[in-house]
Amino acid sequence: MKNSTLSAAPIVVASEPERRTARDLRIGEEGTVCCLRDPDMALKLLEMGCVPGQRVRLRSVAPLGCPLTLVVGDDEYTLSLRREEAATIGL
């Protein structure tokens, strides 16, 4: 006698949509920092001016997609980050 097992389809639960990150910006687009997602990277980003409430603008992207150049705040402070690092900056 064969055992027939029913395989149920996986249950997909709708979750809160992902927030945008600095990695998602297009050249010239701005966003406001809301949170820093990686505790290990957060201290470095805070020291470089990426504090919640601060405006950031994507200035450029290198030809191969990494690094990204962000302008932080109104004082034109320029910051170059890897794509993975930019993904930790929630907007």
Residue 18: how many CA atoms within 13 Å on its side-chain side?
A: 9
**pLDDT grade for 5, boundaries at 50, 70 and 90:** low
The pTM of this model reads 0.77
Mind listing the pLDDT tens digit for each residue in 17-68? 578 999 999 999 999 999 999 988 999 999 998 999 999 999 999 999 889 9
Which residue in 60, 59, 61, 41 sits closest to 50, CA to CA?
41
**pLDDT grade for 12, boundaries at 50, 70 and 90:** very low
Dist CA 24 CA 43 (whole Å): 22
Instruction: State the Rg of the chain over Cα.
Output: 19
76 pLDDT higher than 90 = no
